[in-house]
Structure 1
Amino acid sequence: MNSATTGRTVRRRTLRVAAAALTAAAALTLTACSGSDAATGTKPAGRTDKGAAAGESSGAGSSAGAQGSDARTGTDAKAGTEAGGTGRQAGGTQAANAGKADSGVERCHTSGLKAAFATGEDAVPDPNAGGSTTTSVVLTNKSSRACKIGGFPGVDLKTENGGGVWSLQRSTAKHGSITLEPGDSTDFTINLALTKEEEGFWQPAFAVITPPNETTSLTLDWPWDALVDQRGATHPATFVNPIG
């Protein structure tokens, strides 16, 4: 091979090598571009993918949160409803029990009561009051249970020989009822028109007390002076007031 041929051959090889190098570089460039495009094509926007994932995650979270919220709300609502129902039931039960307890208290019966005139210093009627004095009769629950009492007792004044009875009229005072626990006491008053005159008087020996709504009585000795005899009067000055 002559020198000219050798020179052309070397140049061709050089050109081929250069061309090959350019081709390889181009291929690498294309590969890199292709990889980028592929990535872009497969995942057009990483942010979009992340956003979509976040949306799904958010959606799942929202769904889970909604379910959790629904579950909690449902539970709370149920608990609240049950609590409300329980509260109402408890309130109803307490009201029912209170009603039963109230309705379970019977009236005071004569057999469960003790009567006595109040004879303390302040309770003694003034003999000089001229019809404007009072005496008190104390009623005590001597039974072992609570009882309810209220209204007007019956009061009959009787003489020593039993020949006369004065059933006292009632005042126009309003009245209610009270509950006496065992050992508790209440009282009522009797307005008295006392007198020291030798004429026109009526001297009781006993006071017969009949508790409200009862038919049996308690008899007390009369501890005070004579009364103005007004047994036939329309509005006598001696009359009975309600209990309490």
Structure 2
Amino acid sequence: MTNKSLSVHRAALVAGAALLLGTLTACGSGGDSGASSAQTLSGTAAPATGGATTGSAIASVTASASAPGTTAGKTTLTVGEPSSAASKSRCHTSELRASVGRNDPGAGQENFPIVLTNTSSRTCTVHGYPGVAFLDASGKQLGPDPVRGWGTPKTVTLAPGRSAWAGMTFSNPGVSGAHAATPATLLVTPPDERDPLKVTWTGGPVPVSGNASTVRLMVFAPGTGS
């Protein structure tokens, strides 16, 4: 049942990416505001967790222990600085391992899950978007900073050894005609953190300039995305 749910989730990502690309081509960067609006996201600085909300927004969902996967409790939203409890529960870079899962291509799109795994001995949380940057062999960034795609950030609780994933999608440069380069490394910055994690990139060429060169990121969800 879990594998079926993840397959549906990734299929929705592929379909949604194609739809979003068409919408942005028509509306440009000044389209509708809201959680689905694309926003510039630094590859090395900590990404804000509140989507389109100004400032740092922490949303915590208390779910019923007797009904895993449901939202049976209350949802609270704090705008401004993260609370002390949220800060203490957040997963720090030193407690995580980053990896890139299997590509799930479709409709001219390349779709990779960016996975963060809790390697510490405590339970911690991630909330929002990762920071991402492609680097060449000399450490120079390739292409512009990715932008945020659609999705409503939710707090994902990670017990030791558990993972969360965020989708990363871009047009295949061989199809779109964008100028491409093959990165050596992918930098991944966990939400609200400043220190990135380095992952060897084996996913082939990525678009770095020209038509359809935008890389988009999705919010974190439980699991590995595969």
CA–CA distance in 2 between the matches of 1:169 and 1:217? 17
2:208 counterpart residue number: 229
Percent identity reads 27
The alignment status of 1:108 with 2:91, answered yes or no, reads yes
Deviation at 1:237, TM superposition (A): 4.0
Distance 1:204 1:164 in 2: 9
Q: Distance in 2 between matches of 1:117 and 1:206?
A: 11
Q: Per the alignment, in what secondary structure is the counterpart of residue 160 of structure 2?
A: coil
How far has the Cα of 1:240 moved from its partner?
A: 1.2
How far apart are 1:187 and its partner, in Å?
Answer: 0.7
Give the TM-score of the pair, scaled to structure 1: 0.49
Q: Which residue is equivalent to 2:62?
A: none
Higher normalized strand content (fraction of residues): 2
Which letter does structure 2 place at the counterpart of 1:108?
C
Residue in 2 aligned with 1:16? none
**Is 1:206 aligned to residue 206 of structure 2?**
no
Alpha-carbon deviation of 1:236? 4.5
Confirm or deny that 1:148 pairs with 2:125.
yes
Q: Describe the SS at the equivalent of 1:182.
A: coil
Does 2:100 align with 1:117?
Answer: yes
- Partner residue in 1 for 2:216: 239
How many angstroms does 1:239 deviate by? 1.3
Superimposed CA distance per residue, residues 28-87 of structure 1 (whole angstroms, 9 cap, x where no aligned partner): xxxxxxxxxxxxxxxxxxxxxxxxxxxxxxxxxxxxxxxxxxxxxxxxxxxxxxxxxxxx
Rounded Cα–Cα distance in structure 2 between residues aligned with 1:195 and 1:236? 8
Higher relative contact order (CA 8 A, sep 6+): 2
Counterpart CA distance in 2 for 1:157 and 1:129 is 23
Q: Would the aligned equivalents of 1:157 and 1:168 in 2 still touch at CA under 8 Å?
A: no
Show structure 1 runs of 5+ residues with no match: 1-101
Q: Which has the higher helix share?
A: 1
The CA RMSD over aligned residues, in Å, is 2.6
Letter in 2 for 1:134: N
Quote the residue 1:195 is aligned against: 173
Deviation sequence 1:112-162 (CA, Å, 0-9, x none):
0011111xxxx3343x752x2300111111101100111011001111223
Contact 1:194 1:225 in 2 (8 A): no
Q: Which amino acid aligns with 1:159?
A: D
Indicate if the aligned counterparts of 2:188 and 2:198 stay in contact, CA closer than 8 A.
yes
Q: Give the Cα separation in 1 of the matches to 2:126 and 2:186.
A: 20
8 Å CA contact 1:138, 1:187 repeated in 2? yes
C-alpha spacing 1:164/1:143, structure 2 compared with 1 (3 Å): closer
Contact 2:98 2:115 survives alignment (8 Å): yes
Letter in 1 for 2:157: T
1:184 maps to amino acid: R
For the residues of structure 1 that align with 2:161 and 2:178, how far apart are their CA atoms? Answer: 43
Larger Rg, first or second structure (1 or 2): 1
1:176 aligns with 2:154: yes
| Alignment CA distance shift 1:148-1:164 (3 Å) | closer
- Inter-CA distance 149–163: structure 2 relative to 1 (3 Å threshold): closer
Secondary structure at the residue paired with 1:229?
strand
**Unpaired segments ≥5 residues, structure 2:** 1-83, 222-226
TM-fit CA distance, 1:169: 1.3
Aligned residues: 135
Aligned to 1:51: none
